[in-house]
Structure 1
Amino acid sequence: MKGILLPVLPAIALMTTLSLGLPVRAENPVQVKQLLETSACSACNLSGANLTGAHLIGADLRNANLQGANLANANLEGADLTGANLKGANLEGAFVTNAILDQANLAGVNLTNARMINASTVGAILTDIEISGADLLGSGISVGGEY
């Protein structure tokens, strides 16, 4: 048994080392295409997807997995992201006005320079978000204390 494993071990070690440097991409390309063509992708797996600058006005993204997705400069005006997982997503410069983010996971989201006016965030997880330069009027997101 030892004689069989010895020649295989260096190959396994090399493959493991090489795979550690590869980026993790989990999005489903068919579902990304569906979203971009129809603006409807409820419960889709879009984790890690590059949706930079995407026009997703009124999109149905309820319960979608957008963990770690890049939505920089995307237009999500009026989109329904109820229950969506946006943990660690990049929404820098995104337009998220009048969107519904109720019960969404926004932990660690980057909202730098985003416009998120009158977005609903009832029951959303809002820990460790970056809001530098963001316009958050009426969104339920504020810096410390009550307003």
Structure 2
Amino acid sequence: MFNTQRGSESFKETDLSEAYLFEASLPEINCSGSDLSRIHLPYANLSQANLCQAQLMDAEMGDIKLYQAKLSQANLQGANLSRANLRFADLQEADLTGANLQGADLHGANLNCCNLSNTDLRRANFSKATLDGAKLVNTNLFRAQDIDLSTALIDRTTIYPDGYQQGEGEEG
């Protein structure tokens, strides 16, 4: 297991792609601007980490703790964040296209202007999360909880929490 003392490590703009850090404990780590693509971080603790502008494409981060993490402008395309703790995380302008966030806890998260297109958000908790200008095209929100879509950008392919899809049964 990889561990650091709180806030003692900085890997800013470092290439950690394809690293295997199962159950790593890295609270408050600074990996802003780093290449973490295809990294394996299941069950890791990155609470309050700085991952702004990090490249996390196709990262394996199921059951990760990202409580109050800074992920603004991060590239998380195709990442697995199933059952992730993203409570109060800052994901503003992050790209989560094609990511898996099934059962993720996004309570109080800032998802403003982020791209959630083609993302699986089934059973995710959105209590007190903000989605101003977030793009949810072809996004699956089935059984998502407490989501406010009033300021999000959605289309006919978006699956709502109740399973409804606007384009369902219509011929075009």
Q: State the structure with bigger RCO (CA 8 A, min sep 6), 1 or 2.
A: 1
Q: CA RMSD in A?
A: 2.3
Is 1:31–1:41's contact at 8 Å kept on the other side of the alignment?
no
The Cα offsets for residues 66-90 of structure 1, whole Å up to 9 and x where unpaired, read as 0000000000000000000000000
Instruction: Please identify runs of 4+ aligned residues in structure 1 that moved more than 4 A.
Output: 29-33, 35-38
Using the size of structure 2 for normalisation, the TM-score is 0.63
Structure 2 counterpart of 1:136, from 120, 123, 141: 141
User: Which is greater in Rg?
Assistant: 1
Q: Report deviation, 1:31.
A: 4.4
Q: Note the alpha carbon deviations across 1:80-102, whole angstroms, 9 max, x for none.
A: 00000000000000000000000
Aligned residue for 1:59, secondary structure, equals coil
Check the 8 A contact 1:31/1:46 in 2, yes or no: yes
Mapped partners of 1:84, 1:36: distance in 2: 20
The 5 A counterparts of 1:87-102 are: 87-102=92-107
Alignment partner, residue 119 of structure 2: 114
Instruction: Please list the CA deviations of residues 92-135 of structure 1 after superposition, one character each: whole Å capped at 9, or x if unmatched.
Output: 00000000000000000101100000000100011101111111
Identify the structure with the greater helix proportion: 1
Q: Tell me, in whole angstroms, the C-alpha distance in 2 between the residues paired with 1:142 and 1:66.
A: 21
**Structure 1: which amino acid aligns with 2:120?**
R
Matched AA of 1:111: L
Could you tell me which residue of structure 1 aligns to residue 66 of structure 2? 61
| Seq. identity, % | 30
Q: What is the match of residue 20 of structure 1?
A: none
Task: Supply the distance in 1 between the matched residues of 2:149 and 2:47 (Cα, whole angstroms).
Answer: 31
TM-score under structure 1 normalisation? 0.73
